[in-house]
Structure 1
């Protein structure tokens, strides 16, 4: 029993989202063909889910049923007056007829797979009205003698008819119904689906529960890993310092170099986040990702980008054509004499005083320090959190542009920056964008703590 593979078929009318559901359940954007035209799936395709390295559940995507009204009438004519056949026997008799290889070939594929499976999900486009053909489909499918779980798809659409479908299912004796929007599934959508499958398949309930728990643990691990990627980005950017001669041309060149390093680092983070959630840049139109297209065409360092996200911008930044480069972060060095530096070193008041002393000495020789402004750190945190939240709520069948809702996150807009970023300011060796990167134990610890702070309260859209 422990090694038995659970087989589940996805069945229903054509173009209701069966393939889309499997893409989301398997987290595979390439499974099958998805299109708005009916009858896209013409044969049975399968996919397996593993638990502890062993396959435990096999999904089967079946073609859509297109002629259920005529098929039901044909099935009723197959029974002879002197015999009483149960549902599965009637279906098997049909599969032996020439019509099963001709007019009803597509429906025959569905019913053959139904008889071979433990249960089936009856996928419904909740935007459609309940029609007679749907009732006939269910009557035919029920004749296979396998448990059926209706799945209401597209329930996030504004004009869905979920209540009508629930009432119709109840009249047919199908009282266990689950809502699962393949485009934007609920965070606990998988858990609800497997819980109801477990009720219908009691002998497999323990396996389905363990599979659900494993998938939930994977989701939590992705959530934590996503915020660790963001924390690593913020530490890299906060710790980045570039030195420049104090003349205007040199400062402009160094500022451009700093901005470009940060832009590329943000894009690397975005690419890593997409891979973590099993998406690819090609899964999205160009108007949805940082540094590309219209949605993010406002540059990370442009004052308008900061204001659009609700980040307060200082007068100097708002007045300039570009924002975000803070010159002379350690400008206190202008007023620190040699004696003060010696006293601070002797008292052990500054960590890394040698490096800081060199920067101050450089300042006195006409060199300037350039780093990223706090406002840009806030913007980075806000828009990567925005992306993470959108990816966590996106089904792998979605084909529309990624919708990024403005996060309700005043702590990052206006509150004090976390101590981790303040410490990173004085640790230029922590930035992988600099010349002398050191991935110390302290840096790793700070990244982990910052990730926990970032992930503790996922942003809600406003």
Structure 2
């Protein structure tokens, strides 16, 4: 087994070194990320492996705080008649008392860089190019190790990327990589490792293995995520509740159906967050929206449907206008006091298509409630938009997850995918029904088919 490549992640205080490591390791718990300067006070490490073989070790280091004074001190270390090279000068500094006192933090950084194969110099691209950063690069270059500048926070409108590129080129650093640790590009890791391979030819094979493995992991995560969403939709489409045609009993059954669907959606949200390595608290009430870890916008509120552009079927609108009766939520939508009879006749109860006249009107005996097509559309849109947000989110992000309104018309109108129509005839496919048979081969086939269409 070959020795893993070791990288020291270095730079000024509060430029996102720990943030970069969180995103590269997909570990939101690595180190501490804060807007306060000097959050990292000690060297911390992480290891990336493929098939159990460690290929890359990353070391987070404290921020450089006083490079200007350190560079001046290093330049005075040569004795009369000496012309020390960079590594020898750094070694003398590390052996001296100043490395344990005034420049203790800087000494930790230099020791780790000397012990590593190369360094990633992290830059907050929003900051102006100042003399202290040039001095930092001069100090780090004294270690004689390859340095790859990493431009962080380039997604910010306030970034100064052109200025940094020009400044780095003047220092002879022409190879660099853009990698925003909060909103990393999809190919960000590949570009980072390919740039490292240019500097470290002997490690090209290991870096290529990392690229191949991480691309495979990305595809596997995507497939698993789409299956989770497809299972949610099949569960809700196949859900069916029988209820006696009596006002109190109906309302109780409706409330139970609504709550069951909400809880099922919440389990899907939590599973997606876990799959992508995020925590439940990474989603906040006003942004997802979630409420105490749960989706806050009422799934059954017609206004929520409107906000995402889901068209409520004309049958519901026309039927509700014609009817009179009691408040009743039919098939997933809360209808007004005058909505019951006409809404059912107009088609709000989706299973009327499949189960006939026993579901039409306020009849005696048993009726059946199912989830409306519009609610299925909303479920699909919310989960799909959450998935888009997770794919674009770095593990260093501290702001809550935000779900954008979809711009395309997919899921908002037109026919629902055939697997959902088919699921309505198979109540045993839903985990929300009694005695489910979730492992049936045909159910699994429909989930796979639906996942491809999401």
Q: TM-score scaled by structure 2?
A: 0.90
Who is 1:233 aligned against? 232
Change (3 A) 1:45 1:90: same
* Alpha-carbon distance, 1:96 to partner: 1.1
1:427 aligns with 2:414: no
Q: Which moved more, 1:232-241 or 1:434-443?
A: 434-443
* Alpha-carbon distance, 1:421 to partner: 0.5
* Alpha-carbon distance, 1:333 to partner: 5.0
Mapping for residues 287-436 of structure 1, pairs under 5 Å = 287-289=286-288, 292=291, 296-314=295-313, 317=316, 324-325=332-333, 326-327=348-349, 329-330=351-352, 334=356, 366-436=365-435
Deviations 1:307-333 (A, max 9, x none): 001001135756689672543713565
Q: In the alignment, is the contact (CA less than 8 A) between 1:186 and 1:393 conserved in 2? A: yes
Who is 2:150 aligned against? 151
Q: Which moved more, 1:40-49 or 1:284-293?
A: 284-293
Q: Distance in 1 between matches of 2:94 and 2:350?
A: 80
Change (3 A) 1:184 1:262: same
1:182 aligns with 2:188: no
Q: Distance in 1 between matches of 2:27 and 2:311?
A: 40
Who is 2:451 aligned against? 451
Does the residue aligned with 1:433 lie in a helix, a strand or coil?
A: coil
Does the residue aligned with 1:413 lie in a helix, a strand or coil?
A: coil
Q: Distance in 1 between matches of 2:258 and 2:316?
A: 14
Q: In the alignment, is the contact (CA less than 8 A) between 2:78 and 2:84 conserved in 1? A: yes
Q: Distance in 1 between matches of 2:421 and 2:203?
A: 53
Q: In the alignment, is the contact (CA less than 8 A) between 1:267 and 1:290 conserved in 2? A: no
Who is 2:37 aligned against? 38
Q: Distance in 1 between matches of 2:328 and 2:133?
A: 61
Who is 1:268 aligned against? 267
1:104 aligns with 2:103: yes
- Structure 1: gaps spanning 5 or more residues: 336-358, 455-462
Q: Distance in 1 between matches of 2:142 and 2:411?
A: 58
* Alpha-carbon distance, 1:411 to partner: 2.3
Does the residue aligned with 2:7 lie in a helix, a strand or coil?
A: strand
Q: Distance in 2 between matches of 1:257 and 1:443?
A: 25
Who is 1:77 aligned against? 76
Q: Distance in 2 between matches of 1:256 and 1:364?
A: 20
Q: Distance in 2 between matches of 1:390 and 1:140?
A: 39
Change (3 A) 1:367 1:327: farther
Who is 1:278 aligned against? 277
* Alpha-carbon distance, 1:207 to partner: 0.5
Does the residue aligned with 1:78 lie in a helix, a strand or coil?
A: coil
Who is 1:55 aligned against? 54
Q: In the alignment, is the contact (CA less than 8 A) between 2:284 and 2:290 conserved in 1? A: no
- Structure 2: gaps spanning 5 or more residues: 321-326, 334-347
Does the residue aligned with 2:48 lie in a helix, a strand or coil?
A: strand
1:252 aligns with 2:251: yes
- Give the CA RMSD over aligned residues: 2.2
Who is 1:441 aligned against? 441
Deviations 1:203-231 (A, max 9, x none): 00110011111011111110110010000
Does the residue aligned with 1:411 lie in a helix, a strand or coil?
A: coil
Does the residue aligned with 2:55 lie in a helix, a strand or coil?
A: strand
Does the residue aligned with 2:185 lie in a helix, a strand or coil?
A: coil
Q: Which moved more, 1:313-322 or 1:372-381?
A: 313-322
Q: In the alignment, is the contact (CA less than 8 A) between 2:23 and 2:181 conserved in 1? A: yes
Change (3 A) 1:265 1:333: closer
Does the residue aligned with 1:25 lie in a helix, a strand or coil?
A: helix
Q: In the alignment, is the contact (CA less than 8 A) between 2:283 and 2:293 conserved in 1? A: no
Q: Which moved more, 1:306-315 or 1:144-153?
A: 306-315
Who is 2:24 aligned against? 25
Q: In the alignment, is the contact (CA less than 8 A) between 2:283 and 2:289 conserved in 1? A: no
Q: Distance in 2 between matches of 1:289 and 1:403?
A: 5
> How many residues were matched structurally?
429
